[in-house]
Structure 1
Amino acid sequence: MAEPQIDHIVVDVRDRIAEGAEIYRRLGFQLTPMGKHSLGSANHLAIFGTDYLELLGTDVPGGALRPDLEPFPVGLNGLVFRGYDSEALQARLMAAGVPVQPANAFFRPADLPDGSQADAKFKTVRLDRSAAFDGRLYWCEHLTPEHVWRKEWQEHPNGALGVARMLLSVRDPERQAAMFRRMFGAEAVRTTDDGRALLRLGAAAVVEAAPHAAVAAELGNAAPDPAGRGDHLAVLGLKVRDLGATAALLRTNKVPATVSAGLVRVPARAAMNTTIDFMA
C-alpha cells in the first residue's frame, strides 16, 4: 500500500475570496492568479515543494457555492491526499470498507508562462461525509502537475516550505484512527498514551486527531470557531525556512501572533477562521 502523502489543504473562503487572498498575502504567502474550476468554484493556491494550500470559494460576492462547499463555514475544512489511478484507488478503498464516491474528473484553465493557456486537469475520489470529520476528505490525482507546481510560485515571503501538521479536534480519536487504518493500513497509524491518533505522512508530516478538550487547552483563544461543526480541522502547521524571519514579517504586516520555542502561531481570527502554526 502506498505511503500516504498530503496533496493539499483547503481553507474555505465562501464568497469572500478577495478578502481571503488579501489576508493570506499579508500572512506572507505568494498566491497564484485566481483559477475557475469547471465545477463552478474559484481558488487561489499557495504552492509549496510537494503540496499546497488552497483558498476555495466563489468569485461572485453573495454568489451560489458548489453544493459540496455550501454546508461548511469559512475556515479549514479540506484534507486532501495525493491520488494515483483514481478508478483503481476507488475500487481498493471500497474493498477495504472505506465509503468513497466514484472518481470525478474536472479542470480549470491555467495561464502558461509563454502567454498561452492550457487546462489543469484533475481527478478526485471523495470520502462520504458521514464517515469522517465535519469537513471534506478526498484524494486528488493530478493529470497535469506541471500546471500546478511551477517554480515561480513556490517561493513565499514567509518562507513556507510545506505542510508539517494537521490537527483535528474530535470527540473520539479512535474513530478517526480506525478509518485511517482502513485507508492506509495499520502500520500508518499509532495512538499515544494521552489518547491522540497519529497518521504519519513520511518523515516530515503528521495528521493528528485529539480530543476536543485537549485541542481547546492547546489553542486557547487562538482556536477556530467551530461554527456548527462537530469533529473539525483546527490547525494547519507549516514548516518554514527561518522562523525568526517569519515572525519578523508577521510583525511588519501587523499580523497578531504568539512566538514560542520552535513555533509562531497565528490565531484563527486573523486567518479566515484557521489557526496557522509556522514551525521550525
Structure 2
Amino acid sequence: MDCLIDHIVIDVRDRLAEGADTWRRLGFQLTPMGKHSLGSANHLMILGRDYLELLGTDVPGGALRPDIASFPVGLNGLVFRGYESEALAAEQQARGVPVQPAVAFHRPADLPDGSRQDAKFKTVRLDRSAGFDGRIYWCEHLTPEHVWRPEWQAHPNGALGVARILLSVRDPERQAALFRRMFGAEAVSAGADGRMLLQAGEAVVEAAPHAAVAAELGAAAPDPAGRGDYMAVLGLKVRDLAETGSALRINGVAFAEAPGRLRVPATEAMNTTVDFMA
C-alpha cells in the first residue's frame, strides 16, 4: 500500500498559546485554533502535501484528551495518509498490525465566505505498545478542502513539506519490522550506523539507535522526558535556506548552519529539534 506522510503532531499539552507563539517565531503561518469533537484543540501549519499540528487543550491547566494525556511536550504523532478507514483497519489487522477500529470526528472550519462547516476526519490508530513511545496512525480526510487552503500554505520561512523524521530507538529492527507489516518489505531499507529507513513519498522516516542520534544532535536534541523510544527530529524542505535563515534571524531564533541545512535546537521549538533542509 502507499506510504505517505499526512501530518506530524507536536504535543503542547496546556501550553497551546505558547506553542503557537513559538512556531510563529520559527516562521510559520498558523491556522485559527480549532476544537475537535474529541475534546482537544489545535493549530495547523499547512504545507504543500502535508502539515504540522500543535495539539493540546486551549485551557491552561485543563484536562487533556485521555489518549494524549501521558505524553510530554514535543514530537508525538507520526501520521500517514489514510483512505477508506474501515477497509484499511481490516487490511492492517490481516497483516498482523495491532490497529484499533476506525474513529470518526470533526472540528468547525470557518470558510473564506464567512460561513462555517465541519472539517471531518477518520483515523485508524495503532496500539501504543506497537512502536515508539508516541502515536502512529492513519488519517483519512473526508473534507480536505477545509485543510489545504492556499491562503494557509505560504510561510515566511519558505517551508514546503516534511522531508525527514528521525526516531531515536533502542532497536531499529523492531521498528522496521512494524513498518514492513504496515507497508510491505520494499518500503524499508537499511542505512548507515544501524539505521532503518522507511520511504514515505518524498519524505524518509529513519529509526536510529539512541547513540547515533545523540552523536548527531548533541545539545540540539530534545529531552526524552521519560520516553524510551521517541521522535527526535522534524526535517522540513524549504524553498530557499537563505530566506529561511533571514526569517529566523528576524525573530531572534537561534540555529546552527551546516551544508544544506539549518538546525533549530529543541530548546527553541517546544522540545522539538527542527531541521530546515534545502
Alignment partners' CA distance in 1, 2:192 and 2:11: 33
Matches within 5 A, 1:29-48: 29-48=28-47
Partner residue of 1:254 out of 242, 252, 255: 252
Runs of 4+ in 1 over 6 A off after TM superposition: none
Contact 2:193 2:212 in 1 (8 A): no
Alignment partners' CA distance in 2, 1:262 and 1:193: 19
- 1:1-47 CA-partner distances (Å, limit 9, x unpaired): 2x200000000000000000000001000000000000000000000
Alignment partners' CA distance in 2, 1:215 and 1:190: 18
Partner residue of 2:239 out of 235, 238, 241: 241
Which is worse superposed, 148-157 or 246-255?
A: 246-255
Letter in 2 for 1:183: M
Partner residue of 1:270 out of 250, 268, 271: 268
Matches within 5 A, 1:161-200: 161-200=160-199
Matches within 5 A, 1:46-65: 46-65=45-64
**Structure 1 residue matching 2:165: 3-state secondary structure:** strand
Identity, % of aligned positions: 79
Alignment partners' CA distance in 2, 1:26 and 1:49: 20
Structure 2, unmatched stretches of 5+, are: none
Alignment partners' CA distance in 2, 1:232 and 1:40: 25
Alignment partners' CA distance in 2, 1:147 and 1:101: 26
| TM-score, normalising length: structure 2 | 0.99
Give the deviation of 1:201 after TM superposition. 1.4
Alignment partners' CA distance in 1, 2:192 and 2:213: 16
Matches within 5 A, 1:196-215: 196-202=195-201, 204-215=202-213
Letter in 2 for 1:262: G
Matches within 5 A, 1:3-152: 3-152=2-151
Structure 1, unmatched stretches of 5+, are: none
**Structure 2 residue matching 1:265: 3-state secondary structure:** strand
Tell me what 1:223 maps to. 221
Alignment partners' CA distance in 2, 1:193 and 1:242: 28
Alignment partners' CA distance in 1, 2:237 and 2:192: 26
Give the deviation of 1:193 after TM superposition. 4.3
Which is worse superposed, 108-117 or 248-257?
A: 248-257
Letter in 1 for 2:207: A
Tell me the C-alpha RMSD between the 2 structures.
0.6
**Structure 2 residue matching 1:54: 3-state secondary structure:** strand
| Count of aligned pairs between the two proteins | 278
